[in-house]
Amino acid sequence: MASVEAVADVRYADAAGLAAALAEADALFVWDFLSRAVEPAFAAAGRLRWMHIASTGVDNVLFDAMRDSDVVLTNSSGVFDSSIAEYVLGCVLAFAKDFRTTLQAQAEKRWYHRETERIAGKRAVVVGTGPIGRAIARLLAAAGLEVSGAGRTARADDPDFGVVHDVSGTPWGRFDYVVAVAPLTDSTAGMFNAATFAAMKPTARFINVGRGGLVVTDDLISALRNGIVAGAALDVFETEPLPPDNPLWDMSNVLVSPHMSGDFIGWLPALAELFVDNFHKWQAGRPLRNVVDKHLGYVPSGARMG
């Protein structure tokens, strides 16, 4: 931040002091992307022109007043693409090669020989066709999976997915792996529910690296308990941290991670560097990177780089 501090009056604030800091602020960098402190403080932002958030998801700062304002919103798209894709591939391999049982047997010093699954030729659908979804699609395809996409608009000639299904018409029963990476919007909230899980293969594995609110958690728990789907790898949840009494913790067919799929060594400096680069663009009146369409809730294709 040194280059920003050299040319701007930078004030650092926690949630309690945010309203006071916003009173004279032209720009806001939301570093704590899990915080919901911006909405109650937003009325104090009399001259705010630009807000940047240190995450790809923007649902925590897209409240009505922000959406309806003239404040430009940018996000940190691009920082996490490769690391989240690697996490998803790791989950696919963990399920197929049954690493959980291997680790348990090792802890017990038990020689437990068995057969495991191949991933080559398996089918995966990636729900969310933005940059992270595309990185996932490319890596899974390189590992031998047949990958399709699901998004707002169906098409048959996508360069990364080949076929992209309209979400409402996605043939869930075709896929061995269903990967959720869609942004959380009014149209995607709760999209993975009892009906969606019932339409999947009983051998399917569900992987969520998008937002917890995409999933009706009780419906997923029921589907896992009753063999409607075979397993789940979950990095995001409706309530975070995941409460200790949540049944997902104790399910042998579930992998739980604490919202860390994109957090590689060096991710925090990378987030700060992206903001600093955007700040200097903003100061010079140049196009910003990652301008969010506040009504769609994400960065449209082609708007990622300014």
Is 27 domain-assigned?
A: yes
What are phi and psi for residue 205, nearest 5 degrees? Answer: -115, 135
Q: Is 10 exposed, middle or buried (0-12, 13-18, 19+ CB in 10 A)?
A: middle
Lookup: tokens for 208 = 């969520």
Same-domain pairing of 89 and 158: yes
List the catalytic residue out of 134, 165, 205, 259: 259
CATH number, domain of 130, equals 3.40.50.720
List the catalytic residue out of 240, 273, 280, 286: 240
Is 306 domain-assigned?
A: no
Please give the residue range of the domain that contains residue 14: 2-78+265-284
Is 259 labeled as catalytic in the residue annotation? yes
Which helix (H) or strand (E) segment holds residue 134: the answer is: helix 131-142
Yes or no: say if 135 and 80 are a contact pair by the CB < 8 Å rule. no
Instruction: In whole angstroms, give the CA distance from residue 33 to residue 73.
Output: 13
Give the number of residues written for the chain: 306
Lookup: tokens for 91 = 């989950």
Same-domain pairing of 103 and 6: no
Return the amino acid letter for 83: S
Is 34 domain-assigned?
A: yes
pLDDT in tens, the chain (306 residues): 999 999 999 999 999 999 999 999 999 999 999 999 999 999 999 999 999 999 999 999 999 999 999 999 999 999 999 999 999 999 999 999 999 999 999 999 999 999 999 999 999 999 999 999 999 999 999 999 999 999 999 999 999 999 999 999 999 999 999 999 999 999 999 999 999 999 999 999 999 999 999 999 999 999 999 999 999 999 999 999 999 999 999 999 999 999 999 999 999 999 999 999 999 999 999 999 999 999 999 999 766 665
Is 67 labeled as catalytic in the residue annotation? no
Same-domain pairing of 131 and 158: yes
Is 52 labeled as catalytic in the residue annotation? no
Instruction: In whole angstroms, give the CA distance from residue 228 to residue 224.
Output: 6
